[in-house]
Amino acid sequence: MQEVLLAQQQLRFAQRQALIAQQATQLAQQQARLAQQRAEQEAQRAQQEALRAEVESQRAEGEAQRAQKLAQRLRELGIDPDNLG
């Protein structure tokens, strides 16, 4: 009789350990999914920042071209754009 009770207790203990292991696995999987989501979000932010930098670079390049054209036009009119101010 005691052997049966002991076996039942051991079984319950093993079942609890299995449940704990299963919960730990689920938690680890959830943490992995969250880490993956954070990595994807960070990659998206990096892409957005790169796009913003490219747009800003293009804007600055356009402004520089406009300034060069204006300086050229002033020179054509006989005005030295470097001595304005």
User: Which run of H or E residues covers position 78?
Assistant: none
Counting the structural domains of the chain, the total is 1
By residue range, what is the domain housing residue 53? 2-77
Is 85 inside a domain boundary? Answer: no
Is 18 inside a domain boundary? Answer: yes
Is 84 inside a domain boundary? Answer: no
pLDDT of res. 78: 93
* 9-to-3, 12, 23 alpha-carbon distances in Å: 10, 5, 21
Is 9 inside a domain boundary? Answer: yes
DSSP state at residue 77: T
| Segment 42-71 mean pLDDT | 98
pLDDT of res. 61: 98
Is 83 inside a domain boundary? Answer: no
Contact status, residue 53 vs residue 46, Cβ threshold 8 Å: no
- The answer, as to whether pTM is greater than 0.85, is no
Is 33 inside a domain boundary? Answer: yes
